[in-house]
A = this chain, B = another copy of it.
Amino acid sequence: MSGNTLGHLFRVTTFGESHGPAIGCVIDGCPPGLPLSEADIQPELDRRRPGTSRHVTQRQEADRVEILSGVYQGVSTGTPIALLIRNTDQRSKDYGNLHETFRPGHADYTYWHKYGVRDPRGGGRSSARLTAPIVAAGAVARHWLAAQHGVRLRGCVTAIGTHELAMDDWSQVHANPFFAATAQGLDAVEAYMDGVRKAGDSVGATVYVEAGGVPVGLGEPVFDKLDADIAHAMMGLNAVKGVEIGSGFASARQMGSEHGDELTPQGFASNHAGGVLGGIASGQDVTVRIAIKPTSSIRIPRRSIDLHGQPAEVVTHGRHDPCVGLRAVPIAEALLALVLMDHALRHRAQCAGVWVPTPDIARG
């Protein structure tokens, strides 16, 4: 139960460290017969890839994925799909001085206490680089979800530090380096980000993801509710400190007569629930918002201790994202896809064949 597997029926086990020879994952439980090749996965990895603008880490990784198993003649066979990504641009010397101390806000201190041994190069296992296999696995899941249920996923950055970003034009998301679903105010954000980077500092962000076309019924009471499993996946993403479903924290200030989404034959009248009622998908859009803390590795000197508990100063010189929140969008989408995929299989395991006379109003 060492925690490196996500999902119960669509199970993704990742492996690898930032500066080891390779990273990757094994997907167990993929239904057979899904058309699949590297070309279905690579585009998602490319969206997450480092080095694509000056606002993200300058590490250059091709992140080429190789399918090692589970696919024969272009379709999944139902056996484990192993995905391999070789590391190519490790600059471990950047981390030489980190062997002896701990970065504030970083997993250095806790990994050391937990395991008594750690790979400090690039954060080792705790590196955000380990989200690449998650994105790869998520590509398989969203491929199946789209084919089987017409599920559509998308996401965007809604705030960078104190800069709020509108969500008024989804066509813009890939037209700017900030994953912003708007064309408004990006110049200000660009200047702001340049300032953060030049100061050697970093900044937080909020990210929004949603899934449309989710079949009513996905999710399990009492503990493995759909929203509970989404919260688990999202809070497990590096640097995430908060998760909201639907109206989220705003719900706490609402009255019941305002929050509860009314039902009509034409559909739900609102979506405060974020597509989940009692832990089970209602058929409305599943909406999620996450808070991402600023990157821990910064060039501004910070107080810390060394391996012997003595005071030390830490300055991180490696190549880091000044705002890890930016590249979180494709990862959060992938995580949402993985949770939905797992619940799609869980649901049909127990409830295949269930039929009710009530129309699914969310499908219109």
Fill in one digit per residue for A127-169: 1 if any B CB lies within 8 Å of its CB, else 0.
0001000000000000000000000000000010110000000
- Whether the Cβ atoms of B241 and A248 lie closer than 8 Å is yes
Interface contact B118-A77, CB-CB below 8 Å: yes
Interface residues in A, total, Cβ within 8 A? 165
Contact between chains at B13 and A264 (CB < 8 Å)? no
As a 0/1 sequence over residues 209 to 227 of chain A, the CB contacts with chain B under 8 angstroms (1 = contact) are 0000000110111111101
B68 & A24 in contact (Cβ 8 Å cutoff): yes
Smallest beta-carbon distance A277→chain B, Å: 5
A251 interface residue, CB < 8 Å from B? yes
Assembly CA distance A259 to B113 (angstroms): 22
- Look across to chain B and name the residue whose beta carbon is closest to the beta carbon of A235: B231
Interface residue A50 (Cβ < 8 Å from any Cβ of B) = no
A358, B309: Cβ atoms under 8 Å?
A: yes
User: How many copies of this chain sit in the oligomeric assembly?
Assistant: 4
Residue of B at shortest CB range from A298?
A: B256
A126 cross-chain contacts in B, Cβ below 8 A? 221, 278-279
Establish whether residues A242 and B236, one from each chain, have CB atoms under 8 Å apart when the complex forms: no
Decide: B293 and A216 in contact? CB cutoff 8 A: no
Q: Within 8 Å CB of A17, what residues of B?
A: 69-70, 72, 77, 79
| Given A161-B255, A201-B256, A252-B292, 6 other A-B residues pairs in contact with their CB atoms under 8 A | A14-B80, A33-B115, A115-B354, A231-B232, A256-B295, A352-B352
Q: A116-B33, A260-B103 are in contact. Are A247 and B241 (CB under 8 A)?
A: yes
Q: Is B225 within 8 A of A15, CB to CB?
A: no
